Structure 1
């Protein structure tokens, strides 16, 4: 069982590193992260063997936090509003964290812990999408994996002018959500991805 002080230091490190990566990108040093957390470099390496392991832990923490947000919305009275609230939380996280999309692209296929957290998130997204589908709010062919992938789309659309127009991602999220509505549906040309598609390619 992890000691209380060790658990506190681990939490301080995760929070400090997440803030540094979000503000300054992935190239920040371990020394800078340790200083922000108020611990020595040695403490970092007692918890994480490498910077890559630290990044993995942060990313899994973020994915599980978003999944917890989605789980809390599963009992909401309005399934459409619940799905939109989940997507809003996801895009807000992505837009605020410069490292998020980068880490997703680099790690989601190759790291087992990240893949497991991604699968948990997709499962929650599927539950929210299923409620919205059954309520007739969104098109019948939208899946949880579709929802998770679309979280990055709104943030990426706003990226070129995001600093000049704060919150611009909300405009693109609204467009995306309108495109998910059942009344706007037309047959899609390609089937949705499955968990197998996110596995490492041979």
Structure 2
């Protein structure tokens, strides 16, 4: 009896673990899409429906929305760190730093809920501190390489980077529907501000009508 019990007990657990992991992945992917489209006001019921699972399955994996947001944010931080590590493999120090900045901002562009994940929940500041601790060593190395190559201004600090990113993500937010890639123009301007050599600006500037629409949207969003 003991032998029979020992050999059969683990067998049903393996598919359960695999199913649980598949459901967790499905829920995270659905949450990324739902929060990206609707913001964090979307409910766990909406996430469950998009994932094609029962809401009870969502609650078994994540006891509340905050836990789901935490898991989603951790995945984004892992992705940013991966981008930094991949950029570090580029031989030229300046190109490595510029590539990291561009690819990290592309992540924001394709996941417009990312800023809300950071700033719109109870533990936003904790998430920012945790993210900085995990990413900073990789980004520090990129800054130091660019500085050592003589291509980065001596008075620029790695702590300037979050503010620069925030500036560009604001352009993404306000101008996305008008000119989705316009943020690249302003990223180029910012990068040129970090070094002496200038780079051609792409894409072209907004028209006056487009600028009026973007400014009006920014005004209303700031008031709201």
Q: Would the TM-score normalized by the shorter structure come out above 0.5?
A: yes
Query: Structure 1 149/64 Cα, relative in aligned 2: closer, same or farther at 3 Å?
Result: farther
Question: 2:69 aligned with 1:81, yes or no?
Answer: no
How big is each residue's C-alpha offset from its partner over 1:133-162, in whole Å with a ceiling of 9 and x where there is no partner?
111111123333322332221120243222
TM-score using structure 1 length: 0.81
Q: Does 1:132 align with 2:153?
A: no
Offset of 1:70 from its aligned partner? 0.7
* Unmatched tracts of structure 1, length 5 or more: 185-202
Say if 1:94 and 1:151, in contact at 8 Å, map to a contact too: no
RMSD between aligned residues: 2.2
How many pairs align?
182
Shift of 1:90: 1.4
CA distance in 2, matches of 1:50, 1:9: 16
Given the two structures, how large is their TM-score scaled by the length of structure 2?
0.74
Q: Which of structures 1 and 2 has the bigger CA Rg? A: 2
Among residues 170, 176, 188, which one is paired with 1:174 in the alignment? 188
Q: Secondary structure at the match of 1:110?
A: helix
Counterpart CA distance in 2 for 1:149 and 1:3 is 42
Alignment pair present for 1:117 and 2:131:
yes
Alpha-carbon displacement from aligned partner over 1:57-115 (angstroms, at most 9, x marks no partner): 1111101111111111212111111111111111112223232112323444234xx53
Could you tell me how far 1:183 is from its partner in structure 2? 6.7
Matched, 1:101 2:115: yes
**Structure 2 portions without partners, runs of 5+:** 1-13, 199-224
Partner of 2:32: 18
